């Protein structure tokens, strides 16, 4: 067979690609892809829902993906988020209706529901979105909850906390950063310290640049006035 001049170059390029792949797999690939990956071709659109009634007002935006390689997975993902919104709306409508009946229509305030989202990361085949749910049902203030969606778009896998902090050493590193922050501002927290054992099984977090931001809800670590607690952990 006749040899061409580019055969050695092609072999060298293939060997280099294999080497890069092997090296990337030796470290946690999510950290690598977060900071060094190209922007995703997947776009994040919004599904908007509004409701206005005498006892309740709801304004909602939930993410909807366009351009995922698997149309079936994309359809299921988008439907799941709309279903979650439907559950939120139904529960709030039931609560407002019951309260209205008890007060015989003389309520001094409306119930309120707000759902919104922010795309934190959309590159390297990874998508990270924070979805906020706000509910006001009376009292001194409403309550805010966050859902954190972290997805590997290359395979449709939801990225868990354990996928990033996948060893005792990594868990201890993250816990030490949180503990140091608490030590700096002890008057702002309920607890005196933090250890790896205090992470939740479904620990909330979002991804941003080369960081994983670990999140705790209202009243978990600090009073309501301190808001959602966020701790940025850089790549190892």
pLDDT attached to residue 29 = 87
> Per DSSP, which regions of 142-228 are E strands?
143-152, 157-158, 204-208, 211-216
CB–CB of 214/231 below 8 Å? yes
pLDDT attached to residue 102 = 76
Question: For domain 43-158, which architecture applies?
Answer: 2-Layer Sandwich (3.30)
Nearest to 29 by CA among 126, 118, 140, 103: 126
pLDDT bucket at 7, cuts 50 / 70 / 90: very low
pTM, 2 dp = 0.84
pLDDT digit string (tens) for 17-63?
333 333 333 335 899 999 888 999 999 999 999 999 988 999 999 99
pLDDT digit string (tens) for 168-202?
999 999 999 999 999 999 999 999 999 999 999 89
- Residue 191 φ/ψ, nearest 5 degrees: -105, 160
Which of 3.30.70.60, 1.10.3720.10, 3.40.50.410, 3.90.640.20 is the CATH number of 161-234? Answer: 3.90.640.20
73, pLDDT greater than 80:
yes
């Amino acid at each position: 067979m006749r040899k061409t001049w580019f055969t050695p170059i092609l072999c060298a390029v293939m060997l280099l690609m294999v080497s890069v792949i092997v090296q990337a797999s030796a470290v946690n690939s999510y950290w690598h892809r977060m900071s060094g990956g190209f922007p995703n071709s997947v776009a994040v659109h919004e599904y908007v829902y509004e409701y206005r009634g005498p006892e309740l007002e709801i304004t909602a935006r939930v993410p909807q993906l366009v351009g995922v390689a698997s149309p079936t997975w994309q359809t299921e993902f988008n439907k799941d988020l709309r279903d979650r919104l439907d559950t939120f709306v139904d529960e709030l409508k039931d609560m407002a209706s019951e309260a209205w009946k008890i007060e015989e229509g003389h309520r001094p305030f409306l119930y309120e529901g707000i759902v919104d989202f922010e795309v934190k990361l959309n590159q390297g085949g990874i998508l990270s979105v924070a979805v906020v749910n706000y509910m006001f049902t009376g009292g001194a203030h409403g309550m805010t909850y966050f859902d954190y969606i972290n997805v590997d778009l290359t395979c449709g896998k939801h990225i868990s906390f354990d996928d990033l902090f996948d060893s005792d050493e990594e868990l201890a590193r993250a816990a030490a950063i949180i503990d140091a922050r608490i030590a700096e501002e002890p008057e702002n927290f309920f607890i005196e310290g933090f250890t790896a054992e205090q992470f939740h099984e479904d620990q909330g977090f979002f991804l941003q640049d080369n960081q994983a931001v670990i999140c705790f809800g209202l009243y978990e670590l600090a009073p309501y006035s301190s808001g959602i607690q966020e701790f940025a952990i850089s790549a190892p």
